[in-house]
Amino acid sequence: MSGLINNRQARNLHIECILFRESLTTNLICTLSYSESAYAAYIHALAVNKRHDEAMSILDTMLESSNDDGIQPGISSFTACMLGAMQSEAFEDVIRLNDKMKKVGVQPNTTTFQGILLANARLGKKSDVVKEIESVLSSQTPMDARSFLLCAKYLIPSILKDGGGDIELIRIFLRKQVEENPHIKHEAMELNKSLKDCLREDQRKPSKMKNKVLIKRERNKLWRVALNDAIGLSRVLETER
C-alpha cells in the first residue's frame, strides 16, 4: 500500500500501539513518539484486525484535534482507515472518508482512488464512478497500469471483456474494433497509441539520463494521457448506444 508501513512493521509496533491507545484515553505518558505515521500504524493495525469502527474513531479525533497533539491525518492515516472500511464492506464510509480527504486537502494516492471507485461501484453509483474517474484529470491523483485498468473496466467494459488485464490484448482488440467500427477509429487509435507509449515507459530501466523519480513521473503522465483517451473513447461509444 502506497505511503503506508507494511504488516510486519505494524506487528512489531503492536506493544507500542497498545500504549499509544491507552495514552489517547487516559493521557498516560507514552514512550512512543507522537507522529502521523504512528497514528497510521495504529489505524492500520486496527484495520487488519477488522476493527473498522475504532479506526474511524481515531481518525475523527485527529481531524477534530481532540488528542491535543496537533497532529492531523495525512494520506497514510486515510489509506489505512479506508482499507478497514473496504475490508468491512462499509462502502458508505469509504465515500465519507474520500469526502473528508478532499475537505482537508489531502491528495489521494492510487490505493484511495481505487477504493472510492470500487465503493461507488458496489453501491451501484455508476455516474459517481465516472465522475471520480474524470476528476483525476484535473487533480494530482497518481495513475499507473492497475488504476488505468480499473478505470477502463467501467469506461469501456466491452473492450476490457475481451482484453482482460493484458494491455497488449486490449491494443489488439482496439485495432480490431477500428476495422469493424469506423466511427470510433480516431479515439480507438489514439488510445492504442497512448497504451503503446505506456508499455514502453513501464519497461524502461533507470539510467544516468533518467533516474527512478523521473521514470515514475513520466509513467504517471503517460497513464493519465491513456486515461484521457479512454474517456474520449467511452463517450463516443456511449453516443452509439
- DSSP assignments along 131-163, one per residue: HHHHHGGGS-----HHHHHHHHHHHSHHHHHHH
Residues 85 and 164 placed together within one structural domain of the fold: no
- The band of 20, judged by pLDDT with boundaries at 50, 70 and 90, is very low
Q: Which of the four pLDDT bands, split at 50, 70 and 90, describes residue 162?
A: low
Among 81, 107, 138, give the residue marking a domain's end. Answer: 138
What is the count of structural domains for the chain? Answer: 2
Per-residue confidence (pLDDT) for residue 165, from 0 to 100: 74
End-to-end Cα spacing for the chain: 38
State the average pLDDT over residues 187-201: 96
**Residue 41 above 90 pLDDT?**
no
Q: Which of 52, 73, 50, 49 is nearest to 61 (CA)?
A: 73
Shared domain for 134 and 58, answered yes or no, is yes
Identity of the residue numbered 19: L
Average pLDDT over residues 14-33: 43
Helix, strand, coil shares, percent, the chain, to 5:
75, 0, 25
Residue 83 sits in the same domain as residue 122: yes
To the nearest whole percent, how much of the chain has pLDDT over 70? 81
Domain assignment present for residue 152? The answer is no
Ordered DSSP codes for 87-109? HTT-HHHHHHHHHHHHHHTPPP-
Of 122, 182, 115, 176, the residue nearest 150 (C-alpha): 115
Is there a domain that residue 198 lies in? yes
Query: What mean pLDDT comes out for the span 144-151?
Result: 93
Structure confidence at residue 43 (pLDDT): 87
On whether both 57 and 134 belong to a single domain, the answer is: yes
Q: Kindly state the average pLDDT of the residues 147-165.
A: 81
Domain that holds residue 132: 7-138
> What pLDDT is stored for residue 163 in this prediction?
54
Whether the pLDDT of residue 18 is over 70: the answer is no
Give 58's contacts (C-beta < 8 A, 6+ positions apart): 24, 39, 42, 43, 46, 81
User: Does the structure show a pLDDT above 90 at 131?
Assistant: yes
